[in-house]
Amino acid sequence: MTDYDKLMSKKLEIMKSSMKLDYQKFELEGIAFDYEKMMNDAGYNFEDVKRIQLENNIGNTPLIELKNITQYARKFAKKGFGARIFLKDEAQNLSGSFKARRAAISVYHAKKLGYKGVVAATSGNYGAAVAAMAARLNLKCIIVQECFDSHEKNQPEIIEKARRCEAYGAEVVQLSVGPELFYEFLKILESTKYFNASLYSPYGVMGIETLGYEIAEEMLKKEGKYPEIVIATNAGGGNLTGTARGLKYHGAHDTKIIGASVDLTGLHMASDRDFNLKSFTTGHTGFGIPFATFPDRSDVPRSAARPLRYMDEYVLVNQGSVFFITEALSLLEGMERGPAGNTSLAAAFSIAQTLPKDHIIVVQESEYTGAGKHFNAQIAFAKQQGIRLQFGDPLDEIPGKNLIFPKSAKDIKHKTLNMMDLKKSYLKRYKDHIYSTLEIKYLEAELKLDQMTILKLMEEINESKN
């Protein structure tokens, strides 16, 4: 047995030791587990979470109406159309993104349990959030970051995020793309005995529930109603999951939850060749679709991020459109923000034109920007990789081949994915499985489908193999 195999054989034991959370007690039968019990057993109620965040300069971020962006969208909408667009400015949080909400509870819990330090595997803003919170609570911090390809070329955006982590005192372990990330992550957890500050733990996801709750509460105060739509940039699914849960907790049951990702169809997130052919390092289909259809691929036995439980619609926008709307936000609203939240903003700009003027769309997060995260740095890097830069129809963009910028904002268009196809992909992993009544009930909640639809999809899957 290789060292890799030996370590992987102990992964459940390492995970349990690094979180003091026994995932086995949430297992039911077969594929089913008790999701709500897992969330409730984390040991914090909503008021606890809110208090911990506010004590650490997190939360109560402003909800801003983007009046100029809305007027811009209305230029291209038919008469009476052009929904109002609001932005929850999460860049105002400690560390500059909504990820601070996730980190707050994870790191607080680590301190409470007596751990000397925390470890997180992330290439993005979450690492900075964990590092900042660890600094406040006087804990050691190690961030394990997927950073470069086999030629040691790295994305400017990822390097900027590493700089941010180091500024807060974290040690950053930079690795090449591929399976070594999880292997090194487990090795560090085993050797340091630090806390696993996972993005996908109940602590990480419940921290975002305050974000959804605040949107509902502020919109009710400002406009006397809940928003018709909330759009969340979707990668690993925790952002959308936590926001949706917070909205529903407040009572916004009819608000439509839309996930948005950058369309990187054809580029594999774990491919050495594809790693530097993309101009976005998160919030794209390389994470959004695999994690939606198989949430438990994460660094915990059962992920608390389960977007198909809450997502009503999933839309894609191209890279060029996100860069365009990023600049528009700066020039029209005086707000320079990073790329992830602007993925949802590009989708909102397009969707707003299809809705009446009295409808409200909330883009539920923004993030800080910096030298490496700026679109100029990412575009320059794309050009170095041989990516063609051109103007034209954004829907003609071929990820890894070109970046197509819209000539005008009227060319910004979203694509809508077939939600049933995503749910079918989820079920394909259980082909030939004989489901119990309890498992079907679990899938009804997991996929937001009734029993008859689930049985029909499973029948189609089983027939397609022959």
Q: Is residue 448 part of a domain?
A: yes
Domain range for 342 is 54-93+203-416
Tens of pLDDT, residue by residue over 441-457, are: 999 999 999 999 999 99
In a shared domain, residues 253 and 347? yes
In a shared domain, residues 144 and 269? no
Are 399 and 319 a contacting pair, CB within 8 Å? yes
| Type of residue at 427 | L
Lowest-confidence segment of 81-85, 279-283, 302-306 by average pLDDT: 279-283
In a shared domain, residues 182 and 286? no
In a shared domain, residues 289 and 342? yes
What band does 291 get if pLDDT is binned at 50, 70 and 90? very high
Q: Is residue 422 part of a domain?
A: no
Encoded tokens for 256? 């439509």
In a shared domain, residues 293 and 332? yes
Instruction: Tell whether the model's pLDDT for residue 277 goes beyond 90.
Output: yes
Q: Is residue 424 part of a domain?
A: no
What domain count does the chain have? 3
Instruction: Tell whether the model's pLDDT for residue 465 goes beyond 70.
Output: no
pLDDT at residue number 123: 75
CATH number at residue 174: 3.40.50.1100
Residue 447: which of 301, 292, 244, 296 has the closest Cα? 292
What band does 207 get if pLDDT is binned at 50, 70 and 90? very high
Residues 6+ apart with CB under 8 A from 279: 319, 323, 378, 379, 381, 382, 387, 403
In a shared domain, residues 164 and 210? no
Instruction: Tell whether the model's pLDDT for residue 179 goes beyond 80.
Output: no
* Domain end position, chosen among 144, 166, 201: 201
pTM given for the model: 0.96
pLDDT at residue number 2: 83
In a shared domain, residues 16 and 108? yes
In a shared domain, residues 129 and 256? no
Q: Is residue 249 part of a domain?
A: yes
Q: Is residue 426 part of a domain?
A: no
* Domain end position, chosen among 201, 235, 253: 201
Backbone CA torsion sign across 196, 200, 201, 205: positive
In a shared domain, residues 66 and 112? no
Instruction: Tell whether the model's pLDDT for residue 439 goes beyond 60.
Output: yes
In a shared domain, residues 20 and 141? yes
Q: Is residue 425 part of a domain?
A: no
Tens of pLDDT, residue by residue over 330-347, are: 999 999 998 989 999 999
The phi and psi torsions of 40 (rounded to 5 degrees) equal -70, -35
Rg (CA), the chain: 21
In a shared domain, residues 177 and 223? no
**What is the arithmetic mean of pLDDT over 400-410?**
97
In a shared domain, residues 182 and 260? no
Strands (E), 105-214: 117-121, 140-148, 171-176, 195-196
Q: 229-233 and 256-262 as β-strands: parallel, antiparallel, unpaired?
A: parallel
